[in-house]
């Protein structure tokens, strides 16, 4: 995927396409971008040579801000800053997330508020375009004063230190720099600080979680409609008049979408007369209320993360009038809140999906054979598939506790309130994986239930979802090894194929 980057103007749809597309190539227009960058760097250089103390330029950092640094030690200050802050631990972040971090860091620095040199931005761009990806341990950030430790690992290779990954192969930074056509850099005044301050790691993790969640939510909506038909549920609760009376926009949208997916179902038509059930359980009837609230929340998240992706979050910032102002844009509280909301959305989506699975395997509630087995007794059908879904749902509930309400003082109490945004974002891909597994089980059960309604058939739109699954997973006429079926369905959920069955984009 390629992108002509106008700094500060990336749309969320562009970021999503770049993230999902694998290797990225980013082009910057020097004539449009470089003048602001050069002016900012010149202002920093002048401050570094001056007598007045300016935080992070000719002073120490954090609690050491009162310590003056002589002009001839400014470059060494920046180098030592990077080395001392590279204390990340834990598993390495995935390549796709590292690409996103590089993209966001370039997008921030190239706006000309950070005082970095053009050559430094160009070096980050060269790493990204050559797909030479710094090895970044996942743990070590508390989401304030920037994602210091992980961003230090991002920067290490520019100094010829640390390691990189190319095509999944780890190697020393110097070999990686050669492949990108680079030599180690000597950082100028403030450059180490500008590179290490910022919310790019937390934001990239939250964005990766959002994009994975988008695929899960789309699949949950389609599979929820399919489950409604498999259970011979009513579409009356999706009547637009009900939802207009409340006025919640996500609820209105989900109800409309469910009606759209169920339109023309022969299963539903056959049960309009003579069905003894007055009301369906909430997992069917309240889909618009639950998934609509999820949709509204995620749309708000998308706005927050879109803004943050284009924001400048290092410190201090350099302005056109020569002012160099120290503030707190590196505090990632907006990102932490956004990631917490994604976690809640994933937990709730999995919860209600698991309840529909439970309904479908219960012959009393579904009117179908016990555990969806054509010959129950000798066959256990989907009995334990529901248990797997329950296990995944429970794990996600445990992980959904808000990270943003936690804080722990750091840096000798100079940084006395932190966001935990990196923690909030880091769990999301694993939670999305769990939720995809739950929805995959629902898809298997709903498809089995619809097949058991033959000769009646579901709607044309849901038949497309049925066919997508049946191309890889056949009807279960008797018990078989189910784990491969679940893996195939889960891969389809994660692929975004069901998202493509929806008439419009869900979030942005």
Read off the tokens for 477: 């006429």
Number of other residues whose CB lies within 10 A of the CB of residue 266:
14
Q: Evaluate whether 222 touches 355 at the Cβ level (below 8 Å).
A: no
Q: Evaluate whether 214 touches 505 at the Cβ level (below 8 Å).
A: no
Read off the tokens for 254: 């989900």
Is 55 among the residues known to form the active site?
yes
Task: Exactly one of 55, 282, 481, 508 is catalytic; name it.
Answer: 55
Task: Report the alpha-carbon distance of residue 277 to residue 261 in Å, rounded.
Answer: 22
SS (H, E, C) 384-401: HHHHHHHHHHHHHHHHCC
Task: Report the alpha-carbon distance of residue 235 to residue 256 in Å, rounded.
Answer: 11
Q: Please tell me the number of Cα atoms within 13 Å of 169 on its side-chain side.
A: 6
Which of these, 387, 401, 383, lies nearest to 346 by C-alpha position? 401
Tell me the chain's radius of gyration from C-alpha atoms: 26
Number of other residues whose CB lies within 10 A of the CB of residue 118:
17
Q: How far is CA 21 from CA 15, 18, 352, in A?
A: 10, 5, 31
Concatenate the DSSP letters of all residues of 193-259 into one string.
Answer: HHHHSSSHHHHHHHHHHHHHHHHHHHHHHHHHHHHHHHTT--SGGG-HHHHHHH--HHHHHHHHHHH
* Catalytic residue IDs: 55
């Amino acid at each position: 995927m390629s992108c002509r980057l106008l700094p500060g103007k990336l749309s969320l749809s562009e970021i999503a396409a770049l993230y999902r597309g694998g290797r990225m190539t980013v082009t910057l227009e020097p004539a449009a971008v470089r003048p602001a960058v050069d002016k900012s760097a010149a202002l920093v250089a002048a401050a570094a040579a001056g007598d007045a103390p300016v935080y992070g330029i000719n002073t120490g950092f954090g609690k050491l801000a009162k310590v003056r640094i002589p002009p001839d030690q400014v470059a060494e200050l920046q180098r030592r800053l990077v080395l001392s802050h590279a204390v990340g631990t834990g598993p390495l972040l995935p390549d796709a997330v590292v690409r996103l971090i590089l993209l966001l860091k370039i997008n921030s620095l190239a706006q000309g508020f950070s005082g970095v040199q053009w050559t430094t931005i160009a070096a980050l761009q060269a790493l990204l375009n050559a797909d030479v990806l710094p090895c970044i341990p996942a743990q070590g950030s508390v989401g304030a004063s920037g994602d210091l430790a992980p961003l230090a690992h991002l920067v290490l290779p520019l100094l010829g230190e640390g390691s990189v990954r190319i095509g999944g192969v780890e190697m020393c930074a110097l070999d990686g720099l050669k492949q990108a056509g680079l030599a180690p850099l000597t950082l100028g005044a403030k450059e180490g600080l500008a590179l290490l301050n910022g919310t790019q790691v937390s934001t990239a993790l939250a964005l990766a979680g959002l994009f994975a969640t988008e695929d899960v939510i789309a699949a949950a909506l389609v599979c929820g409609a399919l489950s409604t038909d498999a259970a011979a549920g009513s579409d009356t609760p999706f009547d637009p008049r009900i939802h207009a009376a409340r006025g919640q926009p996500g609820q209105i949208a989900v109800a409309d979408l469910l009606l759209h997916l169920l339109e023309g179902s022969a299963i539903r038509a056959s049960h309009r007369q003579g069905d003894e059930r007055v009301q369906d359980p909430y997992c069917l009837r309240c889909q618009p209320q639950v998934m609509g609230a999820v949709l509204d929340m995620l749309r708000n998240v998308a706005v927050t993360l879109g803004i943050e992706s284009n924001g400048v979050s290092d410190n201090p910032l350099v302005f056109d009038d020569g002012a160099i102002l120290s503030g707190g844009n590196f505090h990632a509280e907006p990102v932490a809140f956004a990631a917490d909301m994604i976690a809640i959305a994933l937990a709730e989506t999995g919860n209600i999906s698991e309840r529909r699975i439970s309904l479908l395997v219960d012959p009393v509630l579904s009117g179908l054979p016990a555990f969806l087995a054509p010959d129950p007794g000798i066959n256990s059908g989907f009995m334990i598939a529901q248990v797997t879904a329950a296990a995944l749902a429970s794990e996600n509930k445990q992980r959904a506790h808000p990270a943003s309400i936690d804080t722990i003082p750091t840096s000798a109490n100079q940084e006395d309130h932190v966001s935990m945004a990196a923690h909030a974002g880091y769990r999301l891909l694993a939670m999305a994986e769990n939720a995809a597994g739950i929805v995959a089980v629902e898809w298997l059960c709903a498809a089995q239930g619809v097949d058991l309604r033959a000769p009646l058939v579901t709607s044309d739109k849901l038949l497309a979802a049925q066919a997508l699954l049946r191309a890889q997973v056949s009807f279960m006429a008797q018990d078989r090894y189910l784990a491969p079926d679940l893996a195939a369905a889960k891969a389809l959920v994660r692929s975004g194929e069901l998202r493509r069955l929806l008439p419009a984009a869900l979030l942005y």
